[in-house]
């Protein structure tokens, strides 16, 4: 399939699955009883009553978790009965127009359609660039860098998974992870009175940066002598090179050039953009760099807020105060990657754009082998093969002489035990909630099977009010410092979405779509795991009751967030448009059996 056609198919799948999952109103029908000309036995019928239109799309695989496979964009049947062939863009326009009319809200239809097209073009470029690289993308073995840079298609249920507003096309090969981008960090030398930093380590953030530069053999000795070892209290701030150009154009920065701020340019070892685009990794560096990037990626401009810098350090202190010991005693294969230090420039008016988190780098040397974000395992292939997870399970089945379904169940059980169970146990037992969606979840594989799990992200923590005292006992005042204490219902809602709907059910759908196992078999395993957590259920939480008994659940709506052009990371906004009710397959997939 040509890159443009493959990208159009991927765009159709991400957009339509997003719409059907979040908006609904459709039914699965016999394809022979529709206007479709298709080899598929089933189709999706989607009435658009505001326009008097019906849409029919061929369905080649039905997913209990609503990550379906389609046999093409289908047709629309007009009020006069004529059937009109669709492509991904015509279909997207029809669905967005229906959304606008039904909600009596114009939304940002034209802007969103533009981003759909942009996302599709970026996807086509990535498909073209990575054809022939299937072994690195989907092979049995991988490295942390290769896995982080393998997301050719991006978020599998988002209307614009590869939309990036701000990075010019000619800069994409350098800055896009899926194009295997790489670059050196841009450093600014900043006077001590302008530096703002903190650290839980035995050294300050500027000292950690200086030590890393001294140890980097690619840094010229003259640079170290002049800017690192000089007789001064100045500090160096590492910045993404795109952000450096952005900062150098800002009036508040320009006025301080030569007066407390000096741009030193790019220096040192190569860093690689990871799946988040703005978090940067180098296999030999002691830390990863998570800096601000004033680029709108999917739903939001990816900039660090000051309270997020403080939160990372405070959570690191909380873990060091005894919580990590508790976790390690119960789940030695589970850990949280620390964000123990930060540095920024204080220009006196909120965030300056220099905000930089220094994240622990546990993936150095051999530790980078087969460490992969879960989202990379579950992504569809660019060709006709299977996802990386599908490849792994198929290979294991051949090696072990077992059925693919049996191996898929074994793999999933191990994944639940090293990742999902510890996350939910920690939340229910200690009131420590994390946004463990697939991109924030790194699983370590050995001989193909999950053996350990690492959570990362200083933005995503939730401390439910009813159990906050358990965390305060470890580190008094940590809730105020992190600004993460919230109502139990809010915390439950977020944990259900990130950990179960996004993460665990995403793995279920990926295995099902690979044709290796019936999704209901894995859903039953997940129900069993959730039932076993009753032993640590918290009185203030309804999380387990909702997951095991409620036919619908609340999840973030990527489509409505994009439709209303809402920045999901803006804490000041009412989040009502961001969350919608969706079917709970842990209940609905077993209707009639209970």
Q: Check residues 571 and 290 and name the one with the higher pLDDT.
A: 290
Dist. CA 543–CA 16, nearest whole Å: 29
Q: Are residues 291 and 428 in the same domain?
A: no
Q: Are residues 484 and 534 in the same domain?
A: yes
What's the whole-number mean pLDDT along residues 563-584?
Answer: 70
Q: Are residues 403 and 543 in the same domain?
A: yes
Q: Are residues 449 and 545 in the same domain?
A: yes
What's the whole-number mean pLDDT along residues 390-406?
Answer: 98
pLDDT value for 567? 63
State the residue range of the domain holding 307: 165-297+303-360
Percentage of residues in the chain having pLDDT higher than 90: 87
First to last CA, the chain: 44
Q: Are residues 342 and 384 in the same domain?
A: no
Q: Tell which residue, 79, 24, 34, has the closest CA to residue 57.
A: 34
Dist. CA 483–CA 336, nearest whole Å: 19
User: In CATH, what number is assigned to the domain containing residue 16?
Assistant: 3.30.310
Lowest mean pLDDT among 58-67, 103-112, 225-234, 236-245: 103-112
Does a structural domain hold residue 433? yes
Q: Are residues 213 and 280 in the same domain?
A: yes
Render 186-217 in DSSP notation, one character per residue: EEEEE-GGGEEEEESSSS-HHHHHHHHHHH-T
Q: How confident is the model at residue 109 (pLDDT cuts 50, 70, 90)?
A: confident
- pLDDT(56) > 70: yes
- pLDDT(322) > 80: yes
Give tens-digit pLDDT for 170-213: 999 999 999 999 999 999 999 999 999 999 999 999 999 999 99
pLDDT value for 384? 76
Does a structural domain hold residue 159? no
Give tens-digit pLDDT for 217-263: 999 999 999 999 987 889 999 999 999 999 999 999 999 999 999 99
Does a structural domain hold residue 388? yes
Q: What integer best gives the mean pLDDT of the chain?
A: 94
User: In CATH, what number is assigned to the domain containing residue 383?
Assistant: 1.10.510.40
Cβ distance 53 to 107 under 8 Å? Answer: no
Q: Are residues 349 and 418 in the same domain?
A: no
pLDDT value for 460? 84
How many domains is the chain partitioned into structurally? Answer: 3
Q: Name 61's bridge partners.
A: 69
pLDDT value for 594? 45
Cβ distance 321 to 474 under 8 Å? Answer: yes
Does a structural domain hold residue 592? no
Cβ distance 548 to 586 under 8 Å? Answer: yes
Dist. CA 439–CA 556, nearest whole Å: 15
Q: Are residues 408 and 539 in the same domain?
A: yes
Q: Are residues 354 and 385 in the same domain?
A: no
Does a structural domain hold residue 558? no
Does a structural domain hold residue 452? yes
Q: Tell which residue, 280, 59, 87, 43, has the closest CA to residue 177.
A: 280
Q: Tell which residue, 530, 531, 462, 540, has the closest CA to residue 500.
A: 530
Q: Are residues 200 and 338 in the same domain?
A: yes
What's the whole-number mean pLDDT along residues 483-504?
Answer: 95
Q: Are residues 502 and 532 in the same domain?
A: yes
Q: Tell which residue, 62, 21, 16, 27, has the closest CA to residue 515.
A: 62
Does a structural domain hold residue 515? yes
What's the whole-number mean pLDDT along residues 26-35?
Answer: 97
Give tens-digit pLDDT for 539-561: 989 999 999 999 999 998 999 88
Structure tokens at 329: 């005693």
Does a structural domain hold residue 39? yes
Q: Are residues 198 and 258 in the same domain?
A: yes
pLDDT value for 165? 86
């Amino acid at each position: 399939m040509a890159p443009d056609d493959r990208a159009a198919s991927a765009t159709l799948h991400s957009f339509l699955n997003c719409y059907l999952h979040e908006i609904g109103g459709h039914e699965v029908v016999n394809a022979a009883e529709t206007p479709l000309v298709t080899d598929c036995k089933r189709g999706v019928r989607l009435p658009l009553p505001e326009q008097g239109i019906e849409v029919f799309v061929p369905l080649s695989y039905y997913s209990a978790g609503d990550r379906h496979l389609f046999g093409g964009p289908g047709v629309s049947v007009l009020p006069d009965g004529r059937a009109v062939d669709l492509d991904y863009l015509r279909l997207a326009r029809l669905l967005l127009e229906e959304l606008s009319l039904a909600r009596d809200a114009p939304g940002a239809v034209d802007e969103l359609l533009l981003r759909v097209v942009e996302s599709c073009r970026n996807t086509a470029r990535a498909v073209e660039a990575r054809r022939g690289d299937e072994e690195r993308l989907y092979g049995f073995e991988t490295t942390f860098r290769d896995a982080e840079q393998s997301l050719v298609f991006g978020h599998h249920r988002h209307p614009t998974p590869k939309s990036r507003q701000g990075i010019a096309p000619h800069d994409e090969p350098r800055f896009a992870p899926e194009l295997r981008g790489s670059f050196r960090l841009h450093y600014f030398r900043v006077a001590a009175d302008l530096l703002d930093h903190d650290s839980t380590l035995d050294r300050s953030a500027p000292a950690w940066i200086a030590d890393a530069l001294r140890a980097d053999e690619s840094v010229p000795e003259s640079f170290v002598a002049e800017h690192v070892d000089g007789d001064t209290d100045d500090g160096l701030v590492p910045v993404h090179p795109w952000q450096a150009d952005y900062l150098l154009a800002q009036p508040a920065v320009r006025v301080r050039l030569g007066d407390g701020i000096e741009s030193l340019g790019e220096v040192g070892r190569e860093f690689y953009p990871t799946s988040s685009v703005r978090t940067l990794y180098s296999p030999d560096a002691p830390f990863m760099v998570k800096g601000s990037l004033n680029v709108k990626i999917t739903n939001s401009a990816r900039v660090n807020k000051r309270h997020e810098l403080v939160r990372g350090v405070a959570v690191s202190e909380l873990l060091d105060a005894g919580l990590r010991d508790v976790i390690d005693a119960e789940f030695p294969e589970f850990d949280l990657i620390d964000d123990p230090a930060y540095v920024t420039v204080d220009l006196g008016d909120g965030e300056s754009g220099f905000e930089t988190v220094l994240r622990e780098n546990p993936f150095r040397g051999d530790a980078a082998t087969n460490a992969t974000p879960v989202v990379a395992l579950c992504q569809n292939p660019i060709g006709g093969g299977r996802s990386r997870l599908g490849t792994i399970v198929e290979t294991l089945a051949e090696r072990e002489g077992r059925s693919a379904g049996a191996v898929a169940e074994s793999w999933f059980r191990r994944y639940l035990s090293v990742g999902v169970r510890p996350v939910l146990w920690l939340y229910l037992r200690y009131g420590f909630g994390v946004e463990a969606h697939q991109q924030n979840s790194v699983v370590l594989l050995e001989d193909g099977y999950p053996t350990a799990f690492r959570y990362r992200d200083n933005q995503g923590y939730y401390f439910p009010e009813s159990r906050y005292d358990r965390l305060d006992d470890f580190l008094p005042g940590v809730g105020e410092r992190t600004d993460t204490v919230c109502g139990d219902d809010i915390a439950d809602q977020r944990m259900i979405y990130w950990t179960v709907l996004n993460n665990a059910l995403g793995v279920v759908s990926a295995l099902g779509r690979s044709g290796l196992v019936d999704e209901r078999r894995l859903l039953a395993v997940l129900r069993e795991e959730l039932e076993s957590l009753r032993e640590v259920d918290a009185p203030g939480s309804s999380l387990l009751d909702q997951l095991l008994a409620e036919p619908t659940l609340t999840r973030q709506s990527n489509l409505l967030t994009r439709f209303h052009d809402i920045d999901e990371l803006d804490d000041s906004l009412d989040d009502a448009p961001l969350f919608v009710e969706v079917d709970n397959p842990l209940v609905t997939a077993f209707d009639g059996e209970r």
